[in-house]
Structure 1
Amino acid sequence: MTVDRPVAVTGFGVVTPIGIGRTSFAEGLRSGACGVAPITLFDASAYRSQVAAEVSGDVIAAARESSLASGITVSRRYGRAAQFATAAVAEALHHAGLHAEDLGDSETGLALGGSTAGTLEAEAVMLEVDDGEGFWREVSNLQLLLAPVGSTADILAAGMGLGGPVTTISTACSSATNAIGQAMRWIRSGRCTRVIAGGADSLTRLTHAGFNSLSLVDRERPLPFDARRDGMVIGEGAAFFVLEDEARARARGAQLHGRVLGYGAIAEAHHLVQPRGDGDGAARAMGLALADAGVETDRVDYINAHGTATPHNDAAEGRGIVSVLGRRSQAVPVSSTKSQVGHLLGASGAVELAACVVAMNEGFLPPTAGWAERDPEIPLEDFVAGGARPAQVEHCLSNSFAFGGNDASLCLGRV
């Protein structure tokens, strides 16, 4: 694709298990904090794993300043995922120097990645219905309107008064990465001059039970790329970016925090829950992202890996990185933010891209927290072990490799 319109990041906002807001998130990354703790949102005593990475603290209170500055209402009447999303969008707009009143033209769009939306709240409603009672006599359909996967985008679009395109992408763990890639393409093509892009998901009984049934969860904490790894730990949260046509952004005096340079997405068509063992799908997604960006492999300074801490995924991703980078794969640092925030499902790609923006702008590499024991099946050398590390990152990749072989990668560049 010809890059006619460079795409700049002019603002971003985050809600994560290690910090609400950019500053707290950056501090959590730098310190190697891990947000995994016993589940409090529901009774998890019957499950193999009883831990998750929940967002703690008052999201509404934390977002108050950004909410007032951006004109975005963050309300307790929304479901948990929508609260995360509106808080992150409010912070992103505030960071970008924008207000909801600036977004009503047909050239501003919204691209959201997610998978759970209001599922947690729908579960609670259904569990309140006693056995033998007529469901529709007891439950108003209004109580379930927050459940559909597109409802979070509907809430955001209405809150911002958007007049441009709005889409929800739900490709499991690559949802937000694909949404950001779609946003980049809208701007490049001239369809939009500005897109609010990212992802949001909350912890639910459904997702926790599902991953437990597959025996893909760790009972304690995730250990990506470590020989002792025993599965993922589910997390929750949100991250959103204000992406703009760089020329338009500069014209309005916006500060630039990075450029989204390239996007690659492929389908493995291999297995419902396991990646190709040779890493071919991961390699193709990364290769396409670099080609789209016009960035040679010797210019990649860092990779924020998908790194779920499951046995098959980490090994396959390592082989894919070697396939793309060759001998240089032994010198390029690779870390997994999931070691700190857990697996945020549809929102994971957005939060991990936010970690890349933080790394570029604050001059450090986020660690793979807890890594200690090398696995001979993973052919990589540097996992940023032992804590965050000072570094200057000019170009990096952010990977998201989902169930069903929905693999996606983004290439980010420093301004």
Structure 2
Amino acid sequence: MLKNPIRVVVTGLGVVAPNGYDKETFYQALLDGKSGIGNVERIEMSNFRTQIAGEVKISFPEMAREHNFDRTVSMACVALDEAFKDSGIDSTYISGLGIRAGMSFATSLGGNSRMMEHLKEELDERKIQPEWLTDLNFFSNYIAKNAGVKGAINSTTSACAAGTAAVGIGFDQIRLGRADVMIVGGSDPLTEFSIAGFHSLRSLSPTGSKPFDENRDGLVIGEGASIFILENYDHALERGAHIYAEIIGYGLSNDAYHITSPDPNGGGAIRAMKMALQDANLRPDDVDYINAHGTSTLVNDKMELNAINEVFQDHAKKISISSTKSMTGHCLGAAGSIELAACVLAVERGFVPPTATLSKPEKDFEEFSLIKSKSVKKPIKVAMSNSFAFGGNTACVILKKADELNVRKGVQFD
């Protein structure tokens, strides 16, 4: 833990998720246990094990043309616009901060939707024209340009842990004094490429995402974007910003085990959670809620709850735990960002989102406080968000309630 670090708070939030295309509809969906998983309209699914996914069923015609039809950028820009309006700042304000404003952005497929289209065309025509590879390098620049960012830009592509890792990186930039404002988040599209990859691993569910359930039979792919405005606490107070929550710690680790399978002993997950707790200067019994990675695969869910049991010991069975992937599907590089948005709203508004499809927990999981079907009203002072990914990448972020932060020097902020 750093000595006297700068405090970092969330002052803006934008969401594009399968079950809510803005912050408030996403919040209501979490309250109601509403799923955005259904039949896919945009991609031909007949050759796959499943015909369902968490698809964002809105179009971006004008924005798509502006950004060369890249869905990653289009969803991110919708979330960015909402985050800006929510925080009361805009691209002109960000530009005026110069190097004191930066961006930390996550994806696993940014540019790949166009890449695969070009690749298929070139294979069909027996051509080799690699210029389209440049798409992979510029998706974050499109977003940074829209945001007016002139400071440092980081792109994180650590698979399904990328969204959570990006928040940690942005958090560090502020608390180390390198920036006053960071735009952080992630975006990932639903593509034939990603679906085919998980189909080849035989990990897709034909029936739905059912984390921790005894009848779970695989994951469901999703898509979406979520972007946060992070600020130096004093900077936020000076401009009278609404403060949602405070980011207080994070941890990054690696299983060093297998390219697609998690360490069954949860080594990386255990290290990431312990690092986050240490970074936040918290005891295990300080944590009220964990938004689990909870993919609904046989191996991941068991590994994660075993890891939680190892880290939290006697407190493990008292913590409220849920997986919002039950409602969104697994949004890959954007998963951690969307799930952190659920945590921010849960902490600010005092509720625990459900594992909406959980009917009967697997026998080994029955002692855990798994939230089923619908949300539960409950004050949450501290929440943890977990993301565990291919390549053994593991990430964890911890945030706390901001009520006590919104009053200082006699000034009340809404």
Q: Which TM bucket (shorter chain)?
A: over 0.9
| AA aligned opposite 2:48 | Y
Structure 1 segment 48-197 matched on structure 2, within 5 A: 48-58=49-59, 75=66, 77-104=68-95, 105-128=98-121, 131-132=124-125, 134-136=127-129, 141=131, 145-146=134-135, 148=136, 150-197=137-184
Q: How far is the alpha carbon of 1:122 from its aligned partner? A: 3.0
Provide the C-alpha distance between the structure 2 equivalents of 1:306 and 1:106, rounded to a whole number of angstroms.
34
Q: Secondary structure at the match of 1:309?
A: coil
Q: Against the structure 1 CA distance between its residues 287 and 379, is the aligned structure 2 distance closer, same or farther, given a 3 Å change threshold?
A: farther
Residues 1:27 and 2:28 aligned together: yes
Is the CA contact (8 Å cut-off) linking 2:212 and 2:365 kept in structure 1?
Answer: yes
Report the CA distance between 1:57 and its aligned residue: 2.3
Amino acid at match of 1:236: E
Matching residue's letter, 1:26: Y
Residues 334-368 of structure 1: per-residue CA shift (max 9 Å, x gap): 00010000000001000000000111122211100
- Give the direction of change, closer, same or farther, for the CA distance of 1:100–1:132 in structure 2 (3 Å limit): closer
Q: Deviation per CA, 1:183-238, whole angstroms, max 9, x where unpaired?
A: 00111111111100010000111110010111111012110011111111000000
* Cα distance change on mapping 1:132 and 1:324 into 2, 3 Å: closer
Q: 5 Å matches for 1:28-43?
A: 28-43=29-44
Which AA in structure 1 matches 2:117? Answer: A
- Give the 5 Å matches for 1:236-255: 236-255=223-242
Q: Which residue of 1 aligns with 2:9?
A: 8
- The amino acid of 1:270's aligned partner reads Y
Could you give the per-residue CA deviations for residues 304-362 of structure 1, whole angstroms, max 9, x where no partner exists?
00000011110010011111111211111100010000000001000000000111122
Report the number of matched residues.
399
CA distance in 1, matches of 2:225, 2:188: 7
Q: Cα–Cα, structure 1 residues 311 and 79, in superposed 2: closer, same or farther, change >3 Å?
A: same
Contact 2:67/2:73 (<8 A) preserved: no
Structure 1 segments, 4+ long, off by >2 Å, are 57-61, 73-78, 121-136, 143-146, 376-380
Equivalences for residues 247-266 of structure 1 within 5 A: 247-266=234-253
Matched letter for residue 111 of structure 1 = S
State, as a whole percentage, how many aligned pairs show the same letter. 35
Aligned to 2:405: none
Q: Distance in 1 between matches of 2:176 and 2:67?
A: 37
CA distance in 2, matches of 1:240, 1:47: 31
Q: How far apart, CA to CA, are the structure 1 residues paired with 2:106 and 2:45?
A: 26
Output the amino acid matched with 2:368.
E
Measured in 1, the distance between the counterparts of 2:51 and 2:375 equals: 28
Q: Is the 8 A contact 2:67 2:142 kept in 1?
A: no
2:66 & 2:27 partners in 1: Cα distance? 25
Find the residue that maps to 2:316 and give its secondary structure: helix
**In the TM superposition, what is the alpha-carbon distance from 1:377 to its structure 2 partner?**
3.4
Distance of aligned partners of 1:126 and 1:245 in 2 relative to their CA distance in 1, 3 Å threshold: same
The normalised TM-score by structure 2 is 0.92
1:130, 1:216 → 2: CA distance?
27
User: How far apart are the structure 1 equivalents of 2:172 and 2:178?
Assistant: 8
Query: What letter is aligned with 1:245?
Result: N
Structure 2 residues not aligned, in runs of 5+: 403-414
- CA offset at residue 132 of structure 1? 4.0
Aligned-partner Cα distance in 2 for 1:249–1:76: 31
User: Is 2:260 the counterpart of 1:273?
Assistant: yes
Residue by residue, what CA displacement relative to the aligned partner does 1:282-312 show, whole Å, maximum 9, x if unpaired?
1211111111011211111100000000111
Match of 1:67 in 2: none
Alignment partners' CA distance in 1, 2:24 and 2:157:
29
SS at match of 2:363: coil
Local SS of the residue matching 1:19: coil
Residue 205 of structure 1 corresponds to which residue in structure 2? 192
The offset of 1:117, in angstroms, is 1.1
TM-score by length of 1: 0.92
Deviates more, 1:83-92 or 1:156-165: 156-165
Q: Could you say what the CA RMSD is over the residues aligned between the two structures, in angstroms?
A: 1.9
8 Å CA contact 2:15–2:338 kept in 1: the answer is yes
Letter in 1 for 2:90: H
- Per-residue CA shift, 1:147-202, capped at 9, x if unaligned? x1x43211011122211100101110000111100000111111111100010000
Measure, in 2, the Cα distance between the counterparts of 1:76 and 1:114: 16
SS class of match (1:210): helix
**5+ residue gaps in structure 1?**
64-72
